[in-house]
Structure 1
Amino acid sequence: MIRLADNKDLEAINELRRQVNDIHVNGRPDIFKPGFCKELEDHAERYLSSDNSDIFVDEQEGKIAGMVMVDYISKPESPYGFARDFCHIAEICVDKEYRRRGIAHSLIERVKEETQKRGLSKIELDVWAFNDAATFYEAEGFKPFRTFLEYDV
């Protein structure tokens, strides 16, 4: 069952976010800090209190099995680009015990529904090169539109 999260879900949401943080720390320890500080915990709470963001959770047998955090972004016109409104997937995670059961797909479908309901036509996300989730996103229909490169000096 996918639903909007509320404050009682914060502990479970942050446990999932810890799993994502660990993936990032393992993938790029030169960028990401190990651990999960209070400031990171509080970040999810801000999503719950904002009109421009949501957290959706998938509940299985009374346990939060997955979550997705989204921002609804309105970028004004600039000298470089046109004004545009879109949904941004900031974080998504399925608990390691529940992976490969279609939960991430269901979460993405819920984000698509909410995006349409809000009159938005695009969903964007970014994924680190070390993260195998890129294959999942491509299977869900996401296409690359920007690439970041780095060069070590």
Structure 2
Amino acid sequence: MLEIKRAKLENYQEIDRILVEIHNYHYEKFPSHFKKISLFFSFDKFQAILNEENIEMIIGEENNKITGICLVRIIQIEETGLVHSRKSILIENLGVIEEYRKRGIASKLLDEVDKIAKQKNINHIQLQVWGFNERAIKLYKKNKYKNRTLVLQKNLGVF
């Protein structure tokens, strides 16, 4: 049975493995932008992230195996003459191990993000998704995420 929990220090290796898998999927789809990696976070960086007040890292776990990860950052947007001040949750990473996909794990992780937002009196959640990542786009739309902005790129063939 799937359990949604907060990540702990002892989860480092499993979480890093999932984040490497997610990142290397991006590398495969867009190698001119992403580098292939074998390590996402150093242990020290992972520990620092877990200790950050404005970050929540949640995991999906089945039979003592981490199957999914969601890393969110709470951000404060300051008021200006153009926008109202507000708090937002930014989903920085979300992923499920390949063999555990299509079981609702990512949607349950997103439900937990909703709960975190409600507990912290935050009324919107945002994320960025690469245009090539159709499976992620489908997941987010299924979970009622909508386009807010659209970032376009023109490749000139020069780095």
What TM-score, normalized by structure 2, do the two folds share? 0.90
Q: How many residues align?
A: 151
Partner of 1:137: 140
Partner of 2:62: 60
Partner Cα distance (2:82, 2:25) in 1:
34
Identity score, percent? 25
Partner Cα distance (1:8, 1:98) in 2:
21
Partner Cα distance (2:90, 2:101) in 1:
22
Unaligned runs of 5+ in 2: none
Partner of 1:25: 27
Deviation at 1:97, TM superposition (A): 1.4
1:72 is the counterpart of 2:74: yes
Unaligned runs of 5+ in 1: none
Partner of 2:89: 87
> What RMSD, in angstroms, separates the aligned Cα atoms of the two structures?
1.2
Query: CA-to-partner distance for each residue in 1:41-94, whole Å, 9 max, x for gaps?
Result: 134433211010010011100100111000011011234422121111100011
Partner Cα distance (1:59, 1:152) in 2:
40
Partner of 2:114: 112
* Equivalent runs, 1:34-45 vs 2, <5 Å: 34-37=36-39, 40-42=40-42, 43-45=45-47
Query: CA-to-partner distance for each residue in 1:18-49, whole Å, 9 max, x for gaps?
Result: 11111110111111111134xx3134433211
- The AA in structure 2 aligned to 1:143 is K
1:149 is aligned, of 149, 152, 155, to: 152
